[in-house]
Structure 1
Amino acid sequence: MPEQQAARTPLPQPTRPHPPAGAGRRTERMDHDDEQPLHHRPHGPAAAAADPTPPTVPATPAQRRTPPDGYRRAIEAHRQAARPSTVDPAVAEAVERQTAAMRELSRRAFPEPDVVPDDTPASIEAARAQRRGEAAASEAAALRRARAERAARHTAQQTAVPQQPAALRTTA
Structure 2
Amino acid sequence: MAFDADTGRLDLAPDAPAYGTKLRWSAPQLITAVNSKVTDTTVRTLHVLPPAPGQARPAAAAPDLQPATPVASAERRTPPDGYHRAIEAHRQAAPPSRVDPGIKQAVERQTRAMRELSQRAFPDSELHSDSQPAPIDQARAQRRRQAATTEAAALRRARTERAAREASTAAAVPQPAALRTTA
Q: Scaled by the length of structure 2, what TM-score is found?
A: 0.28
Higher relative contact order (CA 8 A, sep 6+): 2
Higher strand share: 2
